[in-house]
Amino acid sequence: MMVQDEDLIDFADDVPPPSRRDGEPAARWTLLIVDDDEEVHAATRFVLKDVQLCGRPLRLLHANCAAEAAACLAREPDVAVILLDVVMESSDSGLMLVRHIRDTMQRSEVRIVLRTGQPGYAPELKVIRDYDINDYKTKAELTHTRLITTLTAAVRAYDQIRTIAENRRGLELIVSASADLMEAHALNTFAEGVLTQIAALLHLPGDGIVCAQKGSPLDDRDKVLHVVGAAGRLAPYISHPLEQLGDPEITAVIRDCIARKSHGFGPRHTVLYLHGSHHEAAVFLRTHALLEAGDRQLVTVFASNLSSCFGNIKLVERLNHLAFHDPLTGAGNRVSFLTDLAEAGAGERGSGLVACLLDLDRFTDINSALGHDVGDQLLLAVAARLAEAFPGCALARVHADGFGLIGPAALLTPERVFATLQAPFAAGEQQLAVTARLGRCQIEPGTSGNTLFRRAEMALTQARMSPDRRECDFKPAMEERTRRRLDLIRHLRHDFLANRLAVWYQPQVALVGDGLVGVEALLRWPSDDDFVQPPDVFIPLAEDSGLITAIGEWVLDQACATLHRLQQAGGPALRMAVNVSMPQFRLVDFPAAVARVLAAHGILPSALELEITESILMEEPGVVLDNLKALRESGVHISVDDFGTGYSSLGYLRELPIDTLKIDRSFVVEIDSGRGDLFAEMIVAIARKLGVGTIAEGVESAAQLSRLRELGCDIVQGFLYARPMPVEALEAWIAGRPKDHVRH
């Protein structure tokens, strides 16, 4: 049988009151008396009637046997002391119960005082120690005062153990809360987490706010305090300035906290000060009384943990901002654009949206002509205008001079985009007119961000290459074309490495005297299946993929080996013409590489003629000029290929160290075709003016030949004499040529 004793009595006591939460009703100590003798229960009840221990009244529970006691403990989580009879049903049932309480029930906090009628039944010292038995008294010893002092010591020990345990739980909470908060990467989720965790820690209603310096983590200059998190009735003020709260008390407390850089504990509030390395914040909590010392300590520890989380959040926000924003324009960057594309592609809503890539024309020129400051300001102005014209669309700067936009197809039409750029842009002192190219692609649901970006890029490339259109929409055929291109590049690389490429040679004949004066080395890509790729197709691929530098060097090596072989055979003195691409010319050590190859084959530099196209000359005059000069100084000849198809200025040409202009085949064709020989004539005249020689290429007819001769062209090359051929065929061709062969 078990009896609850609800009688509460005062008992004067000089022990200081234990910790107690303000506002809660006075707590009581719960004691459990376990004895099979009803008289003991009654006596204890009598002695403890109206007694207070350490300022708290008592609540007595009674059990008559070990099983009853165990059941009672299972129900009661907060039993402070057990007064336990050692001998009950059996001589050791009391000790068995102790073992059960400590081992099975894992109740380590409850204090146990053993009582026994007979001194002889005292348990072993080891048992007392192992089972944390806190006192041992004979029943006779438990007189009124002795019982009270024993119990006072026991409840005080219990209270201390509880406090320590609670603190440890509090610390565990802090640690796990901090870990959770570390996960929060945005200030507002962090703030929300802080409020929830502190409220839980202090058993407070979650009524509070977190304030930090000005919203944007990048904007440290603005010292306006903003609400970054709030709970309860303050929730609507999130992201408003603190002033708008309209609560002078809270405002003052937060200001004071930030100014003093320390926590504040008042009777109606608690305010915590958080600081990262560059930022500070205050957490305001409504409390109903001054926090007691233990809780104050707890939140202080928590706050210092929060400060490091806070610094972390700010850092993460800053990094996030940098990771996803273009530092110049503040618009998104390539990463954010890809993320937005991925999101748009993943959404069901995909259809109806388009991705746009916008590329400013000649931005590099503006940058180098007017300076980077002006270039930057232009980009800023363009970004601002795009953002204004297309609100709600994702805007990002995806290249140095390229922007990306995602939005409804109906809004992002080429007309609207170009209309936006129509008016000139203010950049520094300048008003700059800007033109651009636009590539668009439909966002189809279930398409990855990368794919969408690549498609928009394909469309943009198409728009860039088109002479008459400024915009292009992606079409699936483009993807197919790109795939084929990539296949071809892979195949080319493979065949080059497998040494399957070949160099053929086409003779060049002097018009005066009709003697063979040179050969042009022309690359060939023989193929097992009859599908032979012409150089016009695969050389641009090699150029785009960077393969051309290795291939070009190999061609030069082959050409020099051939020339050496021809020289050994004792034929006429020939010059070897080798075509050079832009990527080769960009290599700083290109002249040195040429010199090495020449030396390796014992060829004089003057026996080599490098053919560069007019467009190369115009593209990057700086690099080209340095390399040209170095080559020319070494004695290598330079000829300008496809002359007349580009747009070199004559003034500029005069500056260039060149030896020959090659009259492009298209002008030679014209000689027969009715349009006449105007261009051919002009080029010969220009060459004369510049003091350089001329070679006409693609000569196929006798009529072309005789006209070129009349014009005073120096050398011709074309099917009329010979097609390009392998070295063995060339040797046979040379051998078969009568020494005094003259054509008319």
Verify binding: residue 697, ligand C2E, rule CB under 6 A: yes
- The Cβ of residue 464 has, within 10 Å, a number of other Cβ atoms equal to 13
> DSSP letter at 329?
T
Tokens 């990368």 found at: 450
Give the whole-angstrom CA distance, residue 586 versus residue 638. 16
Q: Which member of 34, 539, 663, 715 binds ligand C2E (CB under 6 A)?
A: 539
Which of Ca ion, ligand C2E, none has residue 652 at its interface (CB below 5 to 8 Å by kind)? none
> DSSP letter at 423?
S
Q: Which member of 719, 732, 741, 743 binds ligand C2E (CB under 6 A)?
A: 719
Give the whole-angstrom CA distance, residue 81 versus residue 155. 7
Instruction: Please name which of 131, 66, 128 lies closest in space to residue 102, comparing C-alpha atoms.
Output: 131
Cα first-last separation, the chain: 138
Q: Which member of 215, 414, 535, 571 binds ligand C2E (CB under 6 A)?
A: 535
CB of 438 to Ca ion, least distance (A): 34
Site map (CB under 5 A) of Ca ion, residues 204-243, x = contact: ----------------------------------------
Minimum CB distance to ligand C2E smaller for 516 or for 521: 521
Verify binding: residue 579, ligand C2E, rule CB under 6 A: yes
Which of ligand C2E, Ca ion, none has residue 555 at its interface (CB below 5 to 8 Å by kind)? ligand C2E
Q: Which stretch binds ligand C2E (CB under 6 A): 20-28, 113-121, 360-368, 518-526?
A: 518-526
CB of 508 to Ca ion, least distance (A): 10
Verify binding: residue 614, Ca ion, rule CB under 5 A: no
Verify binding: residue 642, Ca ion, rule CB under 5 A: yes
Give the whole-angstrom CA distance, residue 165 versus residue 109. 9
Verify binding: residue 471, ligand C2E, rule CB under 6 A: no
Q: Which member of 52, 270, 287, 581 binds ligand C2E (CB under 6 A)?
A: 581
Helices marked H in 577-722 — which ranges?
A: 582-586, 590-601, 614-619, 621-634, 650-655, 665-672, 678-690, 702-711
Minimum CB distance to Ca ion smaller for 558 or for 579: 579
> DSSP letter at 236?
G
Q: Which member of 33, 283, 354, 522 binds ligand C2E (CB under 6 A)?
A: 522
Q: What's the 3-state SS for 303-325?
A: HHHHHHHHHHHHHHHHHHHHHHE
Q: Which member of 438, 724, 725, 734 binds ligand C2E (CB under 6 A)?
A: 724
Rule CB under 6 A: which of 648-687 touch ligand C2E? 665
- One-letter amino acid at 412 equals L
Q: Coil, strand or helix: which one is 644?
A: coil
Q: For residues 567, 571, 575 and 576, what is the CA-based torsion angle, rounded to 10 degrees?
A: -60
Which of Ca ion, ligand C2E, none has residue 570 at its interface (CB below 5 to 8 Å by kind)? none
Backbone phi, psi, residue 128, to 5° = -60, -40
Which of Ca ion, ligand C2E, none has residue 534 at its interface (CB below 5 to 8 Å by kind)? ligand C2E
Q: Which stretch binds ligand C2E (CB under 6 A): 49-57, 298-306, 529-537, 648-656?
A: 529-537
CB of 697 to Ca ion, least distance (A): 5
Give the whole-angstrom CA distance, residue 687 versus residue 420. 47
Verify binding: residue 704, ligand C2E, rule CB under 6 A: no
CB of 730 to Ca ion, least distance (A): 16
- The Cβ of residue 468 has, within 10 Å, a number of other Cβ atoms equal to 4
* Beta-carbon contacts of residue 424 (< 8 Å; ≥ 6 apart): 431, 432, 433, 434
Give the whole-angstrom CA distance, residue 454 versus residue 342. 12
Tokens of 697: 């290429």
Which of ligand C2E, Ca ion, none has residue 213 at its interface (CB below 5 to 8 Å by kind)? none
Verify binding: residue 192, ligand C2E, rule CB under 6 A: no
- One-letter amino acid at 666 equals S
Which of ligand C2E, Ca ion, none has residue 700 at its interface (CB below 5 to 8 Å by kind)? ligand C2E
Rule CB under 6 A: which of 607-646 touch ligand C2E? 611, 641-642
Minimum CB distance to ligand C2E smaller for 457 or for 614: 614
Q: Which member of 213, 508, 579, 584 binds Ca ion (CB under 5 A)?
A: 579
Sign of the Cα torsion 320, 321, 326, 331 reads positive
Verify binding: residue 523, ligand C2E, rule CB under 6 A: yes
Q: For residues 625, 631, 633 and 635, what is the CA-based torsion angle, rounded to 10 degrees?
A: -140
Give the whole-angstrom CA distance, residue 423 versus residue 104. 84
Q: Are 421 and 438 in contact (CB under 8 A)?
A: no
Verify binding: residue 508, ligand C2E, rule CB under 6 A: no
Q: Which member of 154, 281, 718, 737 binds ligand C2E (CB under 6 A)?
A: 718
Task: Label residue 707 left, alpha or beta by phi (over 0 means left) and psi (-120 to 50 means alpha).
Answer: alpha
Q: Which stretch binds Ca ion (CB under 5 A): 5-13, 94-102, 384-392, 641-649?
A: 641-649
Total residues binding Ca ion (CB under 5 A): 4
Binding site for ligand C2E (CB under 6 A): 506, 521-523, 534-536, 539, 552, 555, 579-581, 611, 641-642, 665, 697-700, 717-719, 724
